[in-house]
Structure 1
């Protein structure tokens, strides 16, 4: 009984991990099964005759490699643009004084509670007038100034001593030099966190690319797989292979950078 009390939390965590990982293990297993095997009863967790036919069909017949490259391109551009615009904005709200700073920031924070779907129609009409519909430019616009990213960077910048910045100004450093040589190196944890957040969000984004992109050659991977599933709704093995292709890159990326990701989130919660 004493052993159970000491290790109860560990057992609970192991049980939760098993519940979370079991569907992922089943997805990977089904992706290596021959067509029709997933519907057998009782179901088997390990395929009896593993095959790569589903992946060969995806990449050879349906050209999923192109959509995979499209997703990488969109996610990398979204991440770079988000860092370019969001990081300076978060620093400005934390350390620079300008008229209306607090009011503007409060308005941005208030906008976080507004569902993103409400702004999709006005944004689509605006992009249509600008000629950005059916282009990656239209897909990338929502990531240019992510409000959560601005909030995250601002919270992290509040932990930077103001005396350090003031000392640099007294020594004659310009604001750009202060930001580039002093602030950016300190922001490394939150930069990794923000980059990972944006990359995962843009990679998994389905609704907005579906609305903006009409040309099938421009489809990102989630949109392309959704279109493919309408033709192969009963082909569970093929769809599971597509799900593995979609999940695996971002899962590996998250596992590699998870320590920096958590450091950035925890550091950003130090000050309010």
Structure 2
């Protein structure tokens, strides 16, 4: 039997539904404008959610004038490498801080969390100088090495693994399993929700990042999609091309949106567990 919702719960659901619709309207307007043939020269006013002259030309023109396909491939490659390195690093560090007992663990964990107080823009300058000195610009190393310090991921993994029974590790050790076997065969399979959350967050940060790729990538063949979008908008800034600009923005958002829709059911579960210590 379904429990009947109270008036308070109905009010909350109505308010949340209204908020969801309000947040969706800008995205729907962006998609509609990108498909509107009349928006090639000026933004339609008043705004409309259904295009009067639907056309796909605004999605074809950018690929004909800018190597967006290559930029998308570069962004996927960089995001895949950053996600793989950061998630594996966070899992190993979170496992160590949660289940292993070693001297200075608490102080080291607090020190790692303290680095979150440093603005990323401040750390970019010494990071750029160091990687440039090592000759790692215009390469994947410029993105892989910074991804090793996944502090947010380490925190989420530690909090999540704190909710898992420590007896699993003790029983496996009694049976002769190595530490790596316990980590890889027992705790990683149980960490699906937090892994999905880390994948979404890291992919989102990597895909939308503009400043760090702009610093590290000077060769056009390595440009990411966000740099390509910024260059396209800048180059066409003298001409009013709202439909094409909106189409490029929609294309840049689609990978993140699709990934979130595929994994979103894990996000709330992981964040809920990360704040609970059993």
Which residue in 2 is equivalent to 1:27? 30
Match of 1:59 in 2: 63
Q: Counterpart of 1:48 in 2: which secondary structure? A: coil
Counterpart secondary structure, 1:99: coil
Separation (CA, whole Å) in 2 of partners of 1:154 and 1:238? 44
Of 9, 13, 19 in structure 1, the residue corresponding to residue 16 of structure 2 is 13
Aligned mates of 1:140, 1:33 — CA distance in 2: 40
**Offset from partner CA, 1:227-272 (integer Å, 9 cap, x none):** 1111112321111001100111211110111001222221222129
**Equivalent pair of 1:70/1:220 in contact (CA under 8 Å):** yes
CA distance in 2, matches of 1:50, 1:265: 41
Which deviates more from structure 2 when the two are superposed, residues 254-263 or residues 37-46?
A: 37-46
| 1:167 paired to 2:171 | yes
- Give the match for residue 226 of structure 1: 230
Q: In structure 2, list runs of 5 or more residues that go unmatched.
A: 1-5
Q: 2:246 aligns with which of 240, 243, 254?
A: 240
Deviates more, 1:198-207 or 1:23-32: 198-207
Residue 73 of structure 2 corresponds to which residue in structure 1?
A: 69
Q: Are the aligned partners of 2:33 and 2:243 in contact in 1 as well (CA < 8 Å)?
A: yes
Residue by residue, what CA displacement relative to the aligned partner does 1:59-103 show, whole Å, maximum 9, x if unpaired?
A: 122121111111111111111111222211110011112222111
Q: Give a deviation string over 1:187-243, Cα, whole Å, max 9, x none.
A: 121111111211111111111111111111211111110111111123211110011
Residue 166 to residue 232, structure 1, CA distance change in 2 (3 Å): same
Q: Give the aligned partner of residue 277 of structure 2.
A: 271
Q: Is the 8 A contact 2:41 2:241 kept in 1?
A: no
Specify which of 199, 202, 208 is matched with residue 204 of structure 1: 208
The normalised TM-score by structure 2 is 0.91
Which whole-Å deviations, capped at 9, do the CAs of 1:102-151 have from their partners, x for residues lacking one? 11101011111221111000000110111111222213332222100011
Q: Give me the TM-score of the superposition, normalised by structure 1.
A: 0.93
SS of equivalent to 2:117: coil
Q: Does the CA-based 8 Å contact 1:30-1:38 persist in structure 2?
A: no
- 1:48 aligns with 52
Query: What does residue 257 of structure 1 align with?
Result: 263
Q: How does 1:153-164 map to 2 (within 5 A)?
A: 153-164=157-168
How many positions carry a matched residue from both structures?
A: 270
